[in-house]
Structure 1
Amino acid sequence: MTQHIQYKGYEVAPMAQRLPNGLFAANLTIEKASAERSRAYSFDALDFFFDEEHALAYAFRWGRIWIDSHQ
């Protein structure tokens, strides 16, 4: 499951990837588009969760912290 969220000029796309062991990996893509170029950052397996919604929430929260620290 993927959902795209706008946050402070970035597009944040948290993803929950179901693994063979039943856990969900919290993955994340952050993209910043500007007039001259677009930059994308990908983070895989930030942490693992039993519940898909927890994985998505964690990835989005992690992305907001990353954006706030890079402004």
Structure 2
Amino acid sequence: MKTQTQYLSMIFEDDMARFLAHLLAETQAAFCPAVRSTSQIVRVEYFGGYCLTASTERTGTGLYPANLLVERPGNHADAFHALDYFHDAGQAVLYAAEWGRHWVDSNE
């Protein structure tokens, strides 16, 4: 009986690892492919009339800085450059957009 229990737990661990890897791959494919491969600029209309423009451009080191322009109602704008650096353009743009949402929420 002990041998069967050990064997079943090994199968479960292998299946769990494959399941998690498959789930992660499906999640990334569902939510990130367009931004990751093509977009380097994302514009988001946000609460209270704010417009968030997240952008990136590959640097000489091969990294992508997360840049953000926050335009407030009444034509006032704040620019944030190189909030952080990423190996993937999509990650940089998504990070900048999310950072902008948090900035607006804390400054509203």
Instruction: Provide the TM-score with structure 2 as the length reference.
Output: 0.61
1:1-71 → structure 2 map (5 Å cutoff): 1-8=40-47, 9-34=49-74, 38-71=75-108
How many angstroms apart in 2 are the aligned matches of 1:18 and 1:24? 5
Number of the residue aligned with 2:5? none
SS at match of 1:53: helix
How many angstroms apart in 1 are the aligned matches of 2:41 and 2:83? 15
SS at match of 1:66: helix
Q: Identity over the aligned pairs, expressed in percent?
A: 38
SS at match of 1:28: strand
**Residue ranges of structure 2 left out of the alignment (5+ in a row):** 1-39
**Residue ranges of structure 1 left out of the alignment (5+ in a row):** none
SS at match of 2:56: strand
User: Paired residues, what number?
Assistant: 68
Aligned CA RMSD, in angstroms, stands at 0.8
For the pair shown, the structure with the greater C-alpha radius of gyration is 2
